[in-house]
Amino acid sequence: MFKIRTMNKISPIGLDLFPRDKYEVASEIPNPDAILVRSADLHSVEIPDTVLAIARAGAGYNNVPVDACSSRGIAVFNTPGGNANAVKELAITAMLLSSRNIIGGINWCRTIADKADEVPDLVEKGKSKFEGPELKGKTLGVVGLGAIGVMVANDAVALGMQVIGHDPYISVEAAWNLSRAVVRADTLEGLLAKSDYITLHLPLADTTKGLLDAEKFRFMKKDARIINLARGGLVNEGDIIDALNAEWLAAYVTDFPSAELLACPKVISIPHLGASTPEAEDNCAVMAVQQIMDFLESGAIKNA
Ligand code: MLT
């Protein structure tokens, strides 16, 4: 029997793929052969010597100590693409949220809810406060051209945006082959200088930590908006708060709130909802479970 330890709630659509005559699956199981994890941080968790593989049901794997696992011969898997559509939909939503003052408008409507007959009048008088620009005709800079970045680029083109792309790891040509979007490639600095919206779709690594900081903000258009559904550490938090307070940038939408960001009125904070759809959870769980079974049963490594 193979033993699988689950470190988070994993979709039953995935877990049910384990044949019960061959696999025991539980959160507290001793001496597991493999670990299935979503967002639990494994850096501070003792990984038993019996573990041969760790699968992360998600795209980012910075919650897994990959180098330490590799030196112990533990295979590490992630599920790129499994939640790409969910993140893409939130990225498009984030651009709209940051432009059209939707949250401010909704909150304001609640404040007039008890004004009964005056509501139509108040709406007519109040609505000008919440005006905001359309996406059509604006330029979107997509930093990171993996599964998610390419999907965002495609949909942004469908919304009438011009799209510029940059990726520090893969050639832009390779990304364009995956994309039906009409997208121009640029350096990071060139992309920042031309974009009205910048959306980040990169993993957090030593080379990407603090990718956007005060120095980079200086390249950017005044009133640009930054969307970060990838990892909080890609953006220098103190620097972006300063840039927002100095009215250099118009908005920062982040899926990674902190006390400092929550205190800044121009930050729109989302509680790490990028991949939180039942569809994405099912996809990632199925991919992660399949990877573990392939590896334990035949040594196959499809992504490590
Ligand atoms: C990811 O890296 O794909 C997400 O962080 C997944 C999640 O929300 O668990």
217: domain CATH number is 3.40.50.720
Nearest atom, ligand 1, residue 273 CA: 8
221 and 292 part of one domain: no
Do 58 and 129 belong together in one domain?
A: no
Verify that 57 and 175 share a domain, yes or no. no
Mutate to test the pocket of ligand 1, among 11, 36, 39 (most ligand atoms within 8 A of CB): 39
Pair (293, 249) in one structural domain:
no
| Chain centroid, CA 46 distance in Å | 27
Sign of the alpha-carbon dihedral angle for 143, 258, 91, 216: negative
Q: Whose CA is nearest to atom 4 of ligand 1?
A: 58
267 phi, psi to nearest 5 deg: -95, 130
Q: Is residue 251 part of a domain?
A: yes
pLDDT at 27: 96
Q: Which of 89, 189, 272, 279 is catalytic?
A: 272
Residues 6+ apart with CB under 8 A from 263: none
Per-residue model confidence as pLDDT tens digits over 108-156? 999 999 988 899 999 999 999 999 999 999 999 999 999 999 999 999 9
**Chain segment 208-245, per-residue pLDDT in tens:** 999 999 999 999 999 999 999 999 999 999 999 999 99
Q: Say what the pLDDT of residue 185 is.
A: 75
User: Pairing relation of β-strands 2-6 and 34-37?
Assistant: parallel
pLDDT digits (tens, 9 = 90+) for 153-170: 999 999 999 999 998 777
Q: What number does the ligand 1 atom closest to the CA of 83 have?
A: 3
Structural domain containing residue 32: 2-82+278-298
User: Reduced to 3 states, what is the DSSP secondary structure of residue 210?
Assistant: coil
Tell me which residue of 239, 185, 235 sits closest to 208, measured CA to CA. 235
In a domain? residue 116: yes
Whether residue 304 has pLDDT greater than 50? no
Do 73 and 213 lie in one domain? The reply is: no
Rounded distance from Cα 81 to ligand 1 centre (Å): 11
- With H, G, I as helix, E, B as strand and everything else as coil, classify residue 215: helix
pLDDT at 178 exceeding the cut of 70: no
In a domain, 104, yes or no: yes
Q: Has residue 304 been placed in a domain?
A: no
15 and 131 housed in the same domain: no
303 within some domain: no
- Report, as an integer, the average pLDDT of 95-99: 97
Residues 6+ apart with CB under 8 A from 268: 94, 97, 98, 103, 251, 252, 253, 254
| Residue 39 CA to ligand 1 centre (angstroms) | 7
The single-letter DSSP state of residue 221 is P
Buried b (16+ CB within 10 A) or exposed e, 112-121: eeeeeeeeee
The question of whether 272 is a catalytic residue gets the answer yes
Q: Identify whether the C-beta of residue 163 lies closer than 8 Å to the C-beta of residue 156.
A: yes
Domain-embedded: residue 49: yes
My answer on whether 136 and 261 are in the same domain is yes
Instruction: Output the CA 82–ligand 1 centroid distance in Å.
Output: 10
Q: Is the pLDDT of residue 183 over 80?
A: no
- DSSP collapsed to 3 states, 116-152: HHHHHHHHHHHHHHHCCCCCCCCEEEEECCCHHHHHH
Question: pLDDT tier at 171 (50, 70, 90 boundaries)?
Answer: confident
Find the 144 Cα to ligand 1 centroid distance in Å.
16
Residues 112 and 134 in one domain: yes
pLDDT 10s digits, 34-66: 999 999 999 999 999 999 999 999 999 999 999
Residue 158 in domain: yes
- Number of separate domains in the chain: 2
Query: Do both 34 and 126 map to the same domain?
Result: no
Q: Are 196 and 222 in contact (CB under 8 A)?
A: no
SS3 (DSSP) at 161: coil
Q: Which of 183, 186, 134 is nearest to 154 (CA)?
A: 183
List, for residues 240-274, the tens digit of each pLDDT value: 999 999 999 999 999 999 999 999 999 999 999 99
Q: ipTM exceeding 0.85?
A: yes
Distance of alpha carbon 297 from alpha carbon 302, whole angstroms? 13
Query: Looking at ligand 1, which residue's alpha carbon is closest to its atom 2?
Result: 60
Nearest-atom index, ligand 1, CA of 275? 8
**What is the residue with the minimal CA distance to atom 6 of ligand 1?**
58
Contact 54, 64 (CB under 8 A): yes
Instruction: Tell whether 13 and 69 lie within a shared domain.
Output: yes
**Ligand 1 site residues, Cβ closer than 6 angstroms:** 38-39, 58-60, 83, 272, 274-275
Which two three-digit tokens encode residue 11?
Answer: 């979709």
Stretch 289-293: mean pLDDT: 98
From the candidates 38, 225, 231, 237, give the one annotated as an active-site residue: 231
The DSSP result for 68-104, as a single string, is HHHHTT-EEE--TTTTHHHHHHHHHHHHHHHHH-HHH
Query: What 8-state DSSP symbol labels residue 192?
Result: H
| pLDDT of 181 above 90 | no
Residue 165 lies in a domain: yes
Q: Say if residue 194 is in the same domain as residue 60.
A: no
Could you identify the atom of ligand 1 that is nearest to the CA of residue 61? Answer: 2
Of 272, 277, 279, 281, the one to substitute when testing ligand 1's pocket (max ligand atoms within 8 A of C-beta) is 272
Residues 291, 265 share a domain: no
CA of 52 to the centre of ligand 1 (A): 22
**Cα 189 to averaged position of ligand 1 atoms, centre (Å):** 28
Question: For all residues of the chain together, what is the average pLDDT?
Answer: 94
What atom in ligand 1 is closest to the CA of residue 79?
3
